[in-house]
Amino acid sequence: MFTDTKRSFLSKNRDQKGFVLWLTGLSGSGKSTLAEILFEKISALGKKVERLDGDVLRGVFPNTGFSKEARDEHIKRVGFMASRLEHHGVIVVASFISPYRAARDFVRTLCGSFVEIYVRASLDECKRRDVKGLYEKAMAGQLKEFTGIDDPYEEPLNPEITVDTEHQTVEQSVQQIMDYLKSYLQD
């Protein structure tokens, strides 16, 4: 026996179509900040949603390296996981620097609906924010293979969304993304 609340929750989710929101950008550009809020907002709509975040994944798999090969392998595996969740009707909010275009494009080919969000802030702004103190270490040569300092970041050429977090508030960036997602979220 289902209560009315349970019944309406189930019927909302029954035909939910999954999609993958892929947030890419420099360290400190705002990926995790936006992903967390998007997760809460989508969740509040009664949707099945999962978050995958670079720091969390690297915490679980601490031996993941930062060479191009290691980063590509990591992103492709995470992308595969995201595509499986999507296949089962889950909305996935993935936040990874994912600096290499080809790896992101590979993930796109795995997914049914892939929404690439370029979370853009200039390198100078990210250095100024230096949320984790990593830019200071990288610039002092204490951290190698740091994206933007001694490792490349390949900007998306044709992302579904670009949010300019250097000139927008967090709320404005979230709103821009939620506006884009309107048709994905209605049912």
Q: Catalytic residue numbers?
A: 98
Q: Does 98 bind Mg ion (CB under 5 A)?
A: no
Residue nearest to ligand ATP (CB): 30
Q: Does 18 bind ligand ATP (CB under 6 A)?
A: no
* Cα 98 to Cα 54: distance, rounded to the nearest angstrom: 9
Q: How far is CA 166 from CA 80, 88, 130, 132, 176, in A?
A: 31, 35, 13, 17, 14
Fill in the amino acid letter for 56.
Answer: V
Provide the mask over 168-187, with x wherever binding to ligand ATP is found by CB under 6 A and - wherever it is not.
Answer: xxx--x--------------
Site size toward ligand ATP, by CB under 6 A: 21
Q: Does 32 bind Mg ion (CB under 5 A)?
A: yes
Q: Does 24 bind Mg ion (CB under 5 A)?
A: no
Fill in the amino acid letter for 150.
Answer: D
CA atoms within 13 A on the CB side of 149: 17
Residues near ligand ATP (CB under 6 A) are 25, 27-34, 54-55, 95, 97, 129, 131-132, 165, 168-170, 173
